[in-house]
Amino acid sequence: MPLHLRLTEVRSVVKHVGKNLVLAIPGTRRLRRELLGSAHWSGTYDKDWTARRTRQLRELLDAYAEAWGDWSWLGGKTTLEIGSGPDLAVPFILQTLGAGMSYGSDPEPCGAVAIPDHAVAVFQELASAYVSPASIRPGAHQANPGIRTASPVYVEKLHQTFAPDSIDLVLSTCTLQHVVDPVIAIEEMGTVLRSGGRMIHTIAIGNHCCARGEADPLHHLFYEKWLWQAMFSQRVGHNRWQWFEWREALEGAGFLMDYVRVTARVESNYVREIRPRLAKRFRAMGPEALEPLYVIVACRKAGEAARRRSSKDRDTAETPPGPT
128 in a structural domain: yes
pLDDT at 307: 41
Contacts of 3 (CB under 8 A, 6+ apart): none
pLDDT at 314: 39
- The residues with which 264 forms a beta bridge, in sequence order, are 294
Q: What is the pLDDT of residue 32?
A: 62
Residue 40 CA from chain centroid, whole number: 20
Does residue 47 lie within any of the structural domains? no
Q: What is the pLDDT of residue 11?
A: 85
Of all residues in the chain, what percent are helix, strand and coil, respectively (each to 5)? 45, 15, 40
| Residue 312, pLDDT score | 37
Going 123 to 124 to 126 to 127, the CA torsion angle's sign is: positive
**CATH classification of the domain holding 177:** 3.40.50.150
pLDDT of residue 211: 44
Residue 19 lies in a domain: no
Distances (CA, A) of 59 to 66, 158, 205, 263: 10, 24, 16, 10
Query: Which H or E run includes 200?
Result: strand 193-204
Pairing of strands 255-265, 292-301: antiparallel
- Domain hosting 172: range is 71-306
In a domain, 42, yes or no: no
Instruction: Give the pLDDT score at 3.
Output: 64
Residue 78 inside a domain? The answer is yes
Question: What pLDDT score does 232 carry?
Answer: 86
Give how many domains the chain has, as a whole number.
1
Q: Which residues of the chain have pLDDT under 50?
A: 38-40, 140, 209-213, 304-324
pLDDT tens, residue by residue, 261-293? 999 999 999 999 999 999 999 999 999 999 999
Q: With beta carbons less than 8 A apart as the criterion, state whether 187 and 308 touch.
A: yes
| DSSP secondary structure of 250-282 | HHHTTEEEEEEEEEEE--HHHHHHHGGGS-HHH
Give the pLDDT of residue 309: 38
CA separation, residue 302 to residues 66, 195, 250, 269 (Å): 19, 6, 11, 38
Query: Are 321 and 296 contacting, i.e. CB atoms less than 8 angstroms apart?
Result: no
